[in-house]
């Protein structure tokens, strides 16, 4: 699957939620090292952080958006995964559902639910956005977003992630390109029985995306989180 275009992989994940490319059970093996744990959780943090998946324009009081999405990242060191979990993991994928609702004063709120196909991992997310500029015919939209996500379903680790980012977008007919920068804080607490210390992932995040609006919206998005490349794809509606 490494030979397929990455966005095609994300599309396949949307259509096939049992894809073996992302099948893993995060069970820490005896004798795992701190360095392997640190390497692995950076991969996990990249896929778990709350995705933007939309331009900066606010939805407005009557507006809302619904969609499904997929995220994909190649692991930095598959050997670290093998030593830590006993699994041969070259890539991780996640699929999910996302909803956003516009409120007064340029505020949007959103929620998401996602899972790792073939595993018990589940992710719950929430976000709030504020439009610094609504955008118009001659001006771009600028938005500020705060996010939180919580991992569940894995016995050996607990994870909470927080993020903040600022994005800019400008619609051109049916196309709306956007870009943003922010920061992600992710804490991984490990079961003490394994003799490993907890790890904090603290990384800058850059992202670029393009929404194509036709009968429904298609939004491919690229992220750079620390030194990890993440590819996202959202399909859905915005009203």
Which CATH number does the domain housing residue 208 bear? 2.40.128
Tell me if 115 is assigned to some domain.
Answer: yes
Tell me if 99 is assigned to some domain.
Answer: yes
Tell me if 1 is assigned to some domain.
Answer: no
Tell me if 161 is assigned to some domain.
Answer: yes
- For residue 25, the model assigns a pLDDT of 62
Three-class secondary structure of residue 193 per DSSP: helix
Tell me if 213 is assigned to some domain.
Answer: yes
Please give the model's pTM, rounded to 2 decimal places. Answer: 0.87
The residue segments making up the domain with residue 82 are 6-238
Number of domains composing the chain: 1
Strands 199-213 and 228-238: unpaired
Tell me if 43 is assigned to some domain.
Answer: yes
- For residue 211, the model assigns a pLDDT of 96
Tell me if 101 is assigned to some domain.
Answer: yes
Query: How confident is the chain (239 residues) per 10-residue block, as mean pLDDT?
Result: 42 43 67 93 93 95 96 95 90 95 97 89 96 93 97 91 97 95 96 94 97 91 96 93
The single-letter DSSP state of residue 68 is E
- Quick check: 157 and 140 in contact, CB under 8 A? no
How many residues can be counted in the chain? 239
- For residue 24, the model assigns a pLDDT of 54
Q: Phi then psi for 14, rounded to 5 degrees?
A: -65, -35
């Amino acid at each position: 699957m490494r030979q397929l275009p990455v966005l095609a992989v994300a599309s396949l994940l949307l259509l096939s939620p049992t894809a073996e490319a992302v099948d893993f059970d995060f069970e820490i093996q005896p004798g795992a090292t701190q360095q392997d744990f640190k390497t692995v959780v950076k991969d996990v943090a990249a896929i778990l952080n709350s995705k933007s998946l939309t331009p900066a324009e606010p939805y407005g009081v009557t507006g809302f958006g619904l969609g499904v999405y997929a995220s994909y990242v190649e692991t930095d060191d598959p050997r670290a995964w093998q030593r830590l979990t006993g699994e041969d993991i070259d890539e991780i994928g996640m699929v999910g559902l996302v909803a956003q609702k516009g409120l007064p004063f340029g505020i949007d709120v959103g929620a998401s639910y996602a899972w790792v196909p073939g595993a018990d991992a589940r992710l719950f997310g929430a976000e709030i956005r504020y439009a610094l500029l609504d955008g118009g015919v001659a001006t771009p939209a600028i938005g500020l977003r705060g996010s939180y996500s919580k991992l569940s379903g894995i016995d050996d680790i607990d994870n909470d992630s927080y993020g903040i980012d600022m994005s800019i977008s400008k619609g051109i007919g049916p196309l709306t390109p956007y870009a943003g920068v922010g920061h992600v804080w992710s804490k991984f607490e490990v079961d003490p029985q394994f003799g490993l210390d907890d790890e904090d992932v603290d990384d800058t995040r850059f992202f670029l995306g393009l929404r194509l609006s036709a009968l429904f919206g298609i939004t491919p998005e690229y992220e750079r989180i620390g030194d990890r490349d993440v590819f996202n794809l959202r399909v859905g509606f915005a009203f």
